[in-house]
Amino acid sequence: MTGWTVRCQQDVTYRISGSADVFAPGNDALAEAAGIRAGTTSLLVLDRTVDALYGKRIDSYFAGRGARSVKYTLDPGERVKTADSLLDIARAADQAGIKRRSEPIIAIGGGVVTDLAGLVASLYRRGTPFVRVPTTLIGLVDAAIGAKTAINHNGHKNRLGTYFPASHTLLDPVFLRTLPARHVRNGIAEIVKIAVMKDAGLFALVEADCADLVDARVATTHGQEIIERSVTAMLGELETNLWEHELKRVADFGHTFSPHLEMCAGADLLHGEAVAVDMALCCAVAHARGLLDDESLRRILTLLQRIGLPTEHRACTSAMLAGALADTVRHRDGHQHLPLPTGIGSATFVEDVTSAEISAALATVRRLQPVAASR
Ligand SMILES: NC(=O)c1ccc[n+]([C@@H]2O[C@H](COP(=O)([O-])OP(=O)(O)OC[C@H]3O[C@@H](n4cnc5c(N)ncnc54)[C@H](O)[C@@H]3O)[C@@H](O)[C@H]2O)c1
Ligand SMILES: O=C(CO)[C@@H](O)[C@H](O)[C@H](O)[C@H](O)COP(=O)(O)O
Ligand SMILES: [Zn+2]
């Protein structure tokens, strides 16, 4: 037999747009993005908290257009990001009877819901379009704007997933009005991540507004600019490396030790909180290596602490951190590719961080930790 090489290319284009008050009866943005009109059926995936807060408005939105909506509701939180949920949503798609291309699945919620529904969409009939309506800050600035979908599996964070961007994502900061303060902080952690790596101006805006950023649900003097700059900075990373062929990613700052920490700490740490602990540790490593100066270290740790994010956690033992790094090295194909800040707004990657350095960094963060913020 002879051999064949098949080479194909696929253009990937997807839209992210701002739209205030998505479920206002007269707002056509979602209807246009998801093909909602008289006689169509949509499968909506959301959690019970979002359903309790917005369910009636969502129902009216569809009813007002003569369209049918079938809701699949999940318990809120990370624990539902499982294969069981995935299969159950696929069953709901069968029951709803959605058409293959013209009736996209609609994910309304935080990163758990958009990651999970996105994975279902990527698998259902080998790919059914989906539309995202993020309702948390993490969703707005990070989880709902990229291509990664996932569930947790076998004790590992995001172990099963695909690269499958939503055809359209609608960003609506009005949802933040009902978001609990802890979840606002959680999202600010991802904003700080991208600011430290790429955008010193963004970092300064977060510093300037940090006294009321949480209480005002990001509706501060610079709130809109903070969200827009975060999205722009994140998309700059994603667009050039959507399938992560390059495993050196500055967006992985705060995501080296945190996936393991998040799973170990369970309900005690949200995603962004674990990211904050990881960022603090990595800043201390960078400082000890002479990559990050005293003033930048102080500014980053102070900002995290003023926002009310943890910078350390009792689950962070040297052994746990070594195990976390080992798993991440496998995830990065045998390399540390550890993103470290070289100042505020700039970064480098290192490949040779030792266990001793990590233990020393842990001690540094604990020494600089205000007693009240300790977990
Ligand atoms: N795909 C990616 O690139 C990516 C990026 C970052 C994070 N993530 C994932 O996202 C998840 C974390 O995201 P999250 O914190 O948004 O998770 P989440 O979906 O669990 O939402 C957090 C909580 O907020 C509640 N909620 C949502 N919207 C609300 C609103 N408007 N008002 C009141 N309550 C509301 C939810 O019910 C839930 O309890 C993690 O699983 C993480 O791995 C994915
Ligand atoms: O949390 C984020 C980004 O904030 C996700 O994109 C993702 O979990 C991070 O990039 C992780 O560092 C690596 O994630 P993954 O490859 O395990 O999904
Ligand atoms: Zn993250």
Side-chain-side CA neighbours of 141 within 13 Å: the count stands at 30
Q: Which ligand is nearest to the CA of 161?
A: 2
| Ligand 3 centroid, distance to 252 Cα (angstroms) | 8
Dump pLDDT digits (tens) for 232-273: 999 999 999 999 999 999 999 999 999 999 999 998 999 999
Angle at 14 between CA 9 and CA 19, to 5 degrees: 175
Q: Give dist(CA 163, CA 129) in Å, integer.
A: 13
Dump pLDDT digits (tens) for 272-322: 999 999 999 999 999 999 999 999 999 999 999 999 999 999 999 999 999
| Ligand 3 centroid, distance to 255 Cα (angstroms) | 6
Give the pLDDT band of residue 370 (cuts 50, 70, 90): low
Nearest atom in ligand 2 to 146's CA: 6
CATH number for the region 180-367 comes to: 1.20.1090.10
- pTM check: above 0.90: yes
List the domain boundaries for the chain: 15-177, 180-367
User: What SS3 class is residue 47?
Assistant: strand
Residue 157 annotated to the active site? no
Question: 15-177 adopts what CATH topology?
Answer: Rossmann fold (3.40.50)
Mean pLDDT, all residues of the chain: 97
**Pair type for strands 15-18 and 41-47:** unpaired
Which of 271, 273, 309 has most ligand 1 atoms within 8 Å of its beta carbon, as the pocket-test mutant? 271
Side-chain-side CA neighbours of 134 within 13 Å: the count stands at 30
| Ligand 3 centroid, distance to 50 Cα (angstroms) | 21
Dump pLDDT digits (tens) for 133-191: 999 999 999 999 999 999 999 999 999 999 999 999 999 999 999 999 999 999 999 99
Burial 34-66 (b: 16+ CB within 10 A, else e): bbbeeebebbbbbbebbbebbbeebeebbeebe
